[in-house]
Amino acid sequence: MEPAKRYDIGDAARYLDVAPSTLRYWESEGLVRTERNPENDYRQYSLHSLIDASEIAFYRKLGVSVKELKGYHDLTIEALDDTLERTATDLARRIAELDSMKLQLEKQQELNAIAKDLAEHGARFSAPAVTQLRALDYRMPEIWQLLVSEPWRYGILIEAAHPETIVEALADTDLPDASPLWKKTPDAAHRPCLECLLRVSLDASESTASSLFEEARRQGIRPSRLVGSYLLSATEPSGGQRYDYYRAWIIGESRT
């Protein structure tokens, strides 16, 4: 009968999809057992050792800590079942978190696409997608969680008579304590509105609101105000200054 094959640490690490240093660390912590080649004292792994190490690699990928795995080899079937159940519960929680992160990522990709399209094609006639703006009161604790998880809910309102004044707002939220600032009227589809990309400096000391109001006037709109919702923050390719970008609509009173 031929002697059982042994694998060196490089082969073992490749089969397990881990670094050789990881295998050495697991061995030092008692998680993996190895043999030594009598000719050169190099580590070598039997097939059984690889199978045993594969279980450690599996649990580590699931997020089970090295500290928790130190007693792995002493677990009974019942204890192992308890460990698997706890790991399954934790994995379900992590999957839910990843699903939520994926949705937020897809939303941000959508917002980036809107910003790129508006930057490339410029202003266009379009009814506002934002339906209402409410006053942003930083004393309201619930707004922090809202804006951290859904930053596109951060809105702004700028009156055409005062383009230098930016009023912070909450876009399309129903927080009961937030005072209404603006609401989309039923006849919005028939009013002259210009969709555009608004750029605001990070300290809100300057914006492109004045030039956007002028553009609206050139297109025959008598602007009353600008409403918008946050898209993203990015650095300009020329000049290197960073700005906040908003999907905005110039609301017109009538055509001039």
Q: Provide the whole-model pTM.
A: 0.75
- DSSP assignment of 216-234: HHHTTEEEEEEEEEEEEEE
CA atoms within 13 A on the CB side of 142: 7
Least confident of 63-77, 100-114, 238-252: 63-77
Position 223 in a domain: yes
Q: Quick one: 227 and 142 in the same domain?
A: yes
> Does 159 reside within a domain?
yes
Looking at per-residue pLDDT, the higher value among 149 and 158 belongs to: 158
pLDDT at 139: 84
Nearest CA-CA partner of 200 in 165, 249, 153, 150: 165
pLDDT beyond 90 at 7:
no
Task: Read off the tokens for 194.
Answer: 């210009």
68, 119: one domain: no
The residue type at 88: A
pLDDT band at 84 (very low <50, low <70, confident <90, very high): confident
Q: What is the pLDDT of residue 42?
A: 84
Higher pLDDT, 254 or 179: 179
pLDDT value of residue 3: 62
Task: With respect to residue 105, please indicate whether it lies within any of the assigned structural domains.
Answer: no
**Residues 141 and 70 grouped into a single domain:** no
Among candidate residues 25, 59, 74, the one where a domain is terminated: 74
> Percent helix, strand and coil across the chain, each rounded to 5?
40, 25, 30
Each residue's pLDDT tens digit, 170-200: 999 877 777 889 999 877 656 789 999 999 9
Domain that residue 165 falls in: 113-255
Residue 118 covered by a domain? yes
The answer on 213 and 135 residing in a single domain is yes
> Residue 152 CA to chain centroid, in angstroms?
12
Number of other residues whose CB lies within 10 A of the CB of residue 116? 13
Distance (Å, whole) CA 92 – CA 85: 11
The residue from 26, 55, 74 where one domain ends is 74
